[in-house]
Amino acid sequence: MGFESSNGTASPKLLKFLIYGRTGWIGGLLGKLCQSQGIDFTYGSGRLENRSSLEADLVAVNPTHVFNAAGVTGRPNVDWCESHKVETIRTNVAGTLTLADVCREKGLVLINYATGCIFEYDSSHPLGSGIGFKEEDTPNFIGSFYSKTKAMVEDLLRNYENVCTLRVRMPISSDLANPRNFITKITRYEKVVNIPNSMTILDELLPISIEMAKRNLTGIYNFTNPGVVSHNEILEMYRDYIDPGFTWKNFTLEEQAKVIVAPRSNNELDTAKLKQEFPELLPIKESLIKYVFKPNQKTAAA
């Protein structure tokens, strides 16, 4: 679905992006991508929950498109949200809705980086079946307060025809030193579960999100690479390409539950809609090798 933006243009010289989330991982990467593509961009200075500050940003910047990579995920992880519920609502719900509303008033497309951690394997989408959750499916995972707020806001944003919601999951990048990187996280854990999941390779998918803005695409998209990959499969690649001496230990979901506050989402998302728009999109394991492990390879052969 497309939106009749007030600034429908695809020429890099005529594009101007307003990006929220300057200090975040995705927001920082977006800025670097804009620089490399010669796209004019500015980071928003307003607070998402402060409508007048957002309106002031739009007047000052006069963007063609707005990107929302701001939000509360919690530090060091989503367990933080369990004890900071009001702060989580303020940014993830009130703030995101305010930005969407302000953009709609101005006739602007909002690219909103959301989450796919609002589903979990069930009897209709069993683990290992290859049957993924589609964009129109109703979220079935509210085990964490973070996921609960994200599911709420996604449902409300369906009513905003100017919003493009991108369901990101377990984001991975070629920067293996970044503590937010899913690979970096699991290599540092004492023990890991081993469950196939849909995941997002940012090096491949963030440029696609810029292209989606240029095309003024709106609606919900499962924003992951096709297929699933398990924790062990990733760690095996890490061992084969990066550190031959690397070892790890597994534990069960029941054992994991004892060391975390809130349950975690595990699922497969159906990527047919995104793949139809971008046929070149690589399956998850191919993307991991091309964008993450090959560029970082330290072993002689893998």
Inform me whether the pLDDT recorded for 241 exceeds 90.
yes
Q: Average model confidence (pLDDT) for the chain?
A: 92
Tens of pLDDT, residues 27-79: 999 999 999 999 999 999 999 999 999 999 999 999 999 999 997 776 767 77
Inform me whether the pLDDT recorded for 11 exceeds 70.
no
Tens of pLDDT, residues 141-165: 988 888 999 999 999 999 999 999 9
Can you give the pLDDT at residue 128?
Answer: 94
- The CATH architecture annotation of domain 16-174+199-228+267-285 reads 3-Layer(aba) Sandwich (3.40)
215 pLDDT band, cuts 50/70/90, is very high
pTM listed for this prediction: 0.94
Tens of pLDDT, residues 274-299: 999 999 999 999 999 999 999 999 99
12 pLDDT band, cuts 50/70/90, is low
Copy the structure tokens of residue 203. Answer: 């090096």
Can you give the pLDDT at residue 101?
Answer: 98
Domain ranges of the chain: 16-174+199-228+267-285
Can you give the pLDDT at residue 271?
Answer: 98
